[in-house]
Structure 1
């Protein structure tokens, strides 16, 4: 995938802004609603958010660190790497969400979660948006980040942003499905 860097960053910022708005809307729901699950093995709204927060606990410091040590100048084009493009596209929600297994440490099932989690997650989204804004000063193809499952595998920064944001988009679709499936 090849895209103008400015267009990619605008798309990412727009999507993260939407996710911030959705998180704020979740704050209006009751504690019971946020913790309701359709089946014992499925995630509640708060468990979906906790899952995303756990990934952001890795990616936000990782991106911040790589930007802090990068000296590369901006490039008008971003060219996705094959692995990063694969991961980013795999994270996008499909018409019918395909179930993906997660790593044990990223699985929040049966965690005892509080509504304060939404505030923490919203702060992460604001931080992510700040990083997307800062990234316009760098070559998104040259700055590389590790991924959460292996420090040995590196993705281009533009791909890392796409993976993180697409992953969040996927779970916001899951959250919508959880809310729709609640008994009225």
Structure 2
């Protein structure tokens, strides 16, 4: 696997998270329940369901990453080397490289009616925590810290791969949520 500059990787991921926060605030915050819970015109998830699905993964991964980073040794390592599994999962979720649709795993399927304000608020909070974790990763060894995979906890991925996967997954569903805006917006 190819080694990348850790600082550049984390900055790229941070830029994506900042964009997710900005979009959530500008497009979803302060919208009413009817708007955010409206099913997609194609029969897919509503905006609130997309964000709630992402929140469910955040509930699993964020505490584990926070705990592992808090106890990881400080290092001045400049690189990060992804594993084949980390690359595979990230490419599978990235909207640019992963064009296949997937069924959500049990425990990550959102209900149809949600308290959309709470869902949006939690999504923004989780994205802000993700920013904190990315910044904390600057002086940690992203190759050494391992996190159990939510769907199969026996498999532990490098935290750098988990960050890449989570943010690609977030981007995939943010694009899905934003597609729901087009038929609903009146300009």
Q: TM-score of the superposition, structure 1-length normalised?
A: 0.92
Matched, 1:16 2:11: no
Aligned residue number for residue 5 of structure 2: 4
Alpha-carbon deviation of 1:35?
1.0
Matched, 1:129 2:131: yes
- 2:57 aligned to which of 48, 55, 58: 55
- 1:145 aligned to which of 134, 147, 150: 147
Q: CA RMSD in A?
A: 2.0
Alpha-carbon deviation of 1:72?
5.4
Runs (4+) of structure 1 moved beyond 6 Å? none
Change (3 A) 1:175 1:95: farther
Aligned residue number for residue 94 of structure 2: 92
**Does the 8 Å contact 2:91/2:98 carry over to 1?**
no
**Does the 8 Å contact 2:146/2:158 carry over to 1?**
yes
- Provide structure 1 residue ranges, at least 5 long, that are not aligned to the other structure: none
Alpha-carbon deviation of 1:69?
2.2
Q: Which stretch of structure 1 is more off in the superposition, 146-155 or 160-169? A: 146-155
Aligned residue number for residue 104 of structure 1: 106
**Does the 8 Å contact 1:51/1:106 carry over to 2?**
yes
Q: TM-score of the superposition, structure 2-length normalised?
A: 0.90
Change (3 A) 1:21 1:154: same
Q: How many residues end up aligned between the 2 structures?
A: 184
Change (3 A) 1:111 1:33: closer
Alpha-carbon deviation of 1:96?
9.3
Alpha-carbon deviation of 1:29?
3.0
Aligned residue number for residue 80 of structure 2: 78
Aligned residue number for residue 168 of structure 1: 170
Q: Deviations over 1:153-175 (max 9, x none)?
A: 01111101000100000001101
Q: What secondary structure, in the 3-state scheme, does the structure 1 residue paired with 2:167 have?
A: helix
Change (3 A) 1:39 1:177: closer
**Does the 8 Å contact 1:47/1:113 carry over to 2?**
no
